[in-house]
Amino acid sequence: MTAEVAVLGVGMHPWGKWGRGFVEYGVVAARAALADAGLDWRDVGSIVGADTVRGGYPGYVAGGTFAKALGWQGARVTSVYAACASGAQAIDAARAQILAGLAEVVLVVGADAAPKGFFRPAGGDRPDDPDWLRFRVLGATNPTYFGLYARRRMAVHGDTADDFARVKVKNSAAGALNPYARYRKRVTAEEVAASPVVSDPLRLLDICATSDGGAALVLSSLEFARRHGAADPVRIRAVSTVTPRYPHAVLDLPDIATDSAAAVEPAGRAFRASIAAAAYEEAGIGPEDLSLAEVYDLSTALELQWYEDLALCAEGEGTKLLRDGATALGGRIPVNVSGGLASFGEAVPAQALAQVCEVTWQLRGQAGGRQVTDARVGITANQGLFGHGSAVVAVR
């Protein structure tokens, strides 16, 4: 039995700061995905919602929230929360239902209405919550640990602030071509260098914003796709949602401690590298087979780290790949041709879904001015807080 499922439809609500509820963004994206698939909401046998925890009570039951907003029709419902990996886990749940024969068509939706400014801890005292602890005990806001990652790359690999700025310049050029991006203006290296320092060495234009937005997919069995007239759809071949391995001996903020490696030899791969490795193994491909990648550029420095974690180059050679133009549109392995989070900002439950939307458009040849020539295989990658892996391989 094949483990592939078809991507019949994709849809998005543009990213921005719109001042409305996340349900509205999700419904817009869902209806766009259904229209793209040529299906009616009543054709859907299951809906999987990627949750937001900032939208009040409905955010905790996002599957049911979107089902109600679209109109009760009896579909199965699932809600998933895994921080930034929520979208990939929602895809995984949908795929499992399809392959198990529980539904032929599944709608996957994620949306968020983010607060102004950088993310803050939720209220109340939760001393057993590592997210609460890293804010309250260390003061490690998101930009703080982004800056620590950047400083580590500078110390270990010799990366420079100019290298980080190159990532922003590259992604802003792609985002300028994307109608769904929040920021559609090309940025120069000089503008990055002139922006305020937020968390040394990172400046404001090195760090992604928090945004409102939504994304949705319509997935189906391959048999349904053929009956529906989609003889050669984009297919999801692998979904990686792996966790770290003990001992997790390299500090991986926002965690604030490591496992002891005194008695057990650490695993051969760091956590993020293991996410990609599992996706490659399941898909039966390697990094050399990729046409493009969409990665989680919370900061410019973190994009460079993903180059190495995806094995697009050897450890420490991410900046060389960037400087050679390999990851730009027209390069050997374009990365974040959507514009990435640099151009979108974070709408947490929707992010992994938006990455798959971009890969789908690319594999269909529908990406307009940011089209990767002859795109056949794409991978997405991000990481949810505290051990939630997230990578999807799509092929055509």
Answer yes or no: are the C-beta atoms of 221 and 6 closer than 8 Å: yes
Is residue 74 in some structural domain? yes
Question: What's the pLDDT score for residue 269?
Answer: 87
Strand partners, 236: 5, 394
Is residue 139 in some structural domain? no
- Describe the crossing of helices 271-283 and 300-309 by its angle, rounded to 10 degrees: 50
Question: What's the pLDDT score for residue 241?
Answer: 96
Helix, strand, coil shares of the chain, percent, nearest 5, are 40, 20, 40
Q: Where residue 75 sits, what CATH number does that domain have?
A: 3.40.47.10
Question: What's the pLDDT score for residue 146?
Answer: 93
Question: What's the pLDDT score for residue 118?
Answer: 85
Residue 20, domain extent = 5-117+210-227
> What CA–CA distance (Å, rounded) separates 185 from 352?
23
Is residue 357 in some structural domain? no
128-178 pLDDT, tens digit each: 888 888 888 888 889 998 999 999 999 999 999 999 999 999 999 999 999
Is residue 218 in some structural domain? yes
DSSP assignment of 160-190: -HHHHHHHHHHHHHHHTT-TT-S--S---HH
Answer yes or no: are the C-beta atoms of 79 and 40 closer than 8 Å: no
From start to end of 52-98, where are the E strands?
76-80
Question: What's the pLDDT score for residue 123?
Answer: 74
Please count the structural domains in the chain.
1
Is residue 62 in some structural domain? yes
Answer yes or no: are the C-beta atoms of 240 and 3 closer than 8 Å: no
What letter represents residue 90's amino acid?
A: A
End-to-end CA distance of the chain: 19
Question: What's the pLDDT score for residue 1?
Answer: 43
16-51 pLDDT, tens digit each: 999 999 999 999 999 999 999 999 999 999 999 998
Is residue 176 in some structural domain? no
Is residue 82 in some structural domain? yes
Which parts of the chain register pLDDT below 50?
1
Question: What's the pLDDT score for residue 55?
Answer: 53
Is residue 202 in some structural domain? no
Q: Hey, is 315 helix, strand or coil?
A: coil
> What CA–CA distance (Å, rounded) separates 378 from 241?
17
